[in-house]
Each structure stands twice: as C-alpha cells, then as structure tokens.
Amino acid sequence: MQKPKRILILGPESTGKSTLASALAAYFQEPWVPEVAREYLEKLDRPYAYEDLLQIGKQQMQMEDELAVNAKSYLFCDTDLRVIQVWSQHRYGKVDPWVLEELERRTYDLILLCAPDLPWQADPLREHPDLEMRQQFFEIYQQLTEASGFPWILVSGDTAKRLSTAIQSVRSLKKE
C-alpha cells in the first residue's frame, strides 16, 4: 500500500490555514490534521509555558501519524513542528532538541505557504494582529519552507483563490 502524500499548510496566524486544510480535505475527500495547539491551549487554565510547546508538538505529530493510516491519496496537515519551532524561538529563545530532530525526520510532498494577506480574525489564542509582525513571521516561515527542500507554493488572495491554487498544486503531485 502506497503512503499518502502529505500536504503541509503553513504560515503565520490568521492566514487561513485551517480553512484551507478543511476545504482541501472536503474537496479531495481525504482526512486533515487539525491544529492541536488550539484545543490544547483552550483546555489550559494558565498561560502556556515552554514545556507546553513540546507537548503540543508531540501530540500534533501523533495525530498526523494516526490520521495518515486513514488517508488514501492525501493527508492535509494544518501546521507542523515549524510552528512550534518559530513560537518557541520567538517567545523563549530556544527550541527543544526533540522538535529539531523530528523536523529533520519528517517529510512532506508539498508545502502550501499561506501569505498574510487575509484580514486579521480576532481570536483570544492569537497573539500578533499587527501586519508588520505578521509579515515578519511570514518571512521566517518562508525561510524555513525554502530550507526544507520540499516542493512548495505560495497561496495568497481571497479564500476562493487560495483554494483554487492549492487544488491545482495538489493535483500536479499526481503527475510526478
């Protein structure tokens, strides 16, 4: 049995990652891996700490592996450990070695990098509504995406344009 192609949806806060992952999963009738951090942080009765980021990352990767079993052709991943890496470095100035080791081990067939050109959606779990800060985070994600060595495409514009671009990019994977 062939492994499903893993499609990573990556980008800063409020760039439509979850919306895109869900829409792609519906379009291709395949599973998607929701962002674990949201549920984890909603249950937390205190501000998150450095150690929480490792737990979030481990749960994210566990869920990704579990859902990959049910995927036929594709698995759509709403974020990965690069988000843990970026937030950990930004907030605490360090990244747990497990995160870095796991990043080296994990592979994706395509990264859909979401531009910060959608309007900010207020959310108690989001931290940086300032466009300048969102752009700085985007540049970090772009650098990490380029350094990954995986094929990637920039998705931008409104939700419909993003979905169209993403569908076309995912379909092109079959031709490889």
- The pLDDT-based confidence of 65 (bands split at 50, 70, 90) is very high
Tell me, what's the pLDDT at 134?
A: 82
Amino acid at 19: T
Average pLDDT over residues 96-106: 96
Two tokens, residue 156: 């931008």
Average pLDDT over residues 90-96: 95
How far is the C-alpha of 79 from the C-alpha of 34, rounded, in Å? 8
Classify residue 35 by its DSSP letter. Answer: -
Cβ pair 31, 25 in contact under 8 A: yes
Model pLDDT for residues 134-145, shown as the tens digit of each residue: 889 899 999 999
Amino acid at 123: D
CA of 51: how far to CAs of 37, 68, 99, 146, in Å? Answer: 13, 26, 12, 28
Model pLDDT for residues 32-44, shown as the tens digit of each residue: 999 998 889 888 8
Two tokens, residue 146: 């380029």
pLDDT > 90 fraction of the chain, expressed in percent and rounded: 73
Classify residue 149 by its DSSP letter. Answer: -
Average pLDDT over residues 73-87: 95
Is the model's pLDDT at 63 over the cut of 90?
yes
Q: Crossing angle, helix 81-92 and helix 131-148, to 10 degrees?
A: 130
Average pLDDT over residues 57-68: 96
According to DSSP, the residues that pair with 34 across neighbouring strands are: none
Two tokens, residue 7: 């499609």
* Domains by residue range for the chain, with CATH: 5-174 (3.40.50.300)
